[in-house]
Amino acid sequence: MSDPIRLPAAILFDLDDTLLDTSLSATRVWDQTAAAFAQEIGHRAEVFKPVLAASRAWYWGDPRRNRAGRLDVQRARVAVTHHGLQQLGIDDHGLATRFADYYSAHRVSTMAFFDGAEETLAHFVGAGVPLALITNGDAGGQRAKVDHFGLERYFQVVLIEGEQGFGKPDPRVYERALAACDAPAQASWCVGDSLAWEVAAPQRLGMTGVWNDWARRGLPADAAVVPDRVVGRVAELMETAARGD
C-alpha cells in the first residue's frame, strides 16, 4: 500500500458517480421526462416518479439485467419504463419507447462534474501524474460522455467496457491502464464509487483503493472490503496530495 499523502505514480479514475454526478442527474432527467409525459400517461409526475424509482431499483438490482443493461442502456430504459407503466395498469411498449427516447435525448446534457472534479484532473496532469479513465458501460453511451465533457485530453488512455469487450473487475482493465501510464501498481491509486470495482479488485493487484462515497452513506455494515482511503469528492485528493509535494 502506498502512502496516500504522497503523489502517486498514476491514478485510475472511474467515470460515473466519481467524476460525473450520474445518479443525481439521472433522477433529475427521469423527473423531467415524467413531467413531459404526464398528460399522455394520465398520471401526474408526482405519481409516476416513485413508481419509476422502484422500477429502476427492480431492474438494476438484478446482476444479469445489470450487465445486459449496461451494454444496451436504451433497451434498459425501455424495460424500466415499460415495467413502471405496467405497475400503473398501462401496457404500452410504444409509449415506453418514446418515453425512453426523450430521456436519452436529455441524458448527457443534464450531467455535470462533481464540484472540483475537473480541476482535480487538471491538477494531477499539471503535477505530472499520468491518469487513466476506466469506465464500465456501453460503447456509445460512455463515449458520448467522454466527448461531451472533453475528457480525452486529461487521460493517457480511456478504457470503455463496451469498446474493450471486457470491463472491471477484470484484472486486464487495471493492467492495461497501468501499462498506458507506465506506472507500477504498488505506487498507483484507483478511485471510484464501487467497492468491488475500484477498491477490492485493484487492491488485489497491489494498488491503493480509494472509495468515493459521493452519497456520504458510509461503508455498509457488512462490507468485506476495506478502502485504503475514503473521500466524499475526488477534489479531496488534490488537497492532501498537494501537502505531500
- Binding residues for Mg ion (CB under 5 A): 14, 16-17, 193
First to last CA, the chain: 19
Q: What angle do CA 209, 210, 212 make, to 5 degrees?
A: 140
What's the Cα-to-Cα distance from 64 to each of 70, 139, 140, 166, 204, rounded to whole Å?
A: 10, 18, 20, 15, 24
CB nearer to Mg ion: give 8 or 137.
137
Work out how close the CB of 108 gets to Mg ion at its nearest, in angstroms, rounded to a whole number.
16
CB nearer to Mg ion: give 17 or 21.
17
What's the Cα-to-Cα distance from 170 to each of 92, 197, 201, 225, rounded to whole Å?
A: 38, 9, 8, 17
Work out how close the CB of 17 gets to Mg ion at its nearest, in angstroms, rounded to a whole number.
4
CB nearer to Mg ion: give 13 or 103.
13
Classify each residue of 200-210 as buried b or exposed e, where b means 16 or more C-beta atoms within 10 Å of its C-beta: bbbbeeebbbb
CB nearer to Mg ion: give 70 or 82.
70
Grid cell, residue 120, equals: 482535480
Work out how close the CB of 192 gets to Mg ion at its nearest, in angstroms, rounded to a whole number.
5
DSSP sequence for 79-134? HHHHHHHHHTT---HHHHHHHHHHHHHHHGGG--BPTTHHHHHHHHHHTT--EEEE
CB nearer to Mg ion: give 92 or 170.
170
CB nearer to Mg ion: give 198 or 228.
198
> Do the beta carbons of residue 176 and residue 159 sit within 8 Å?
yes
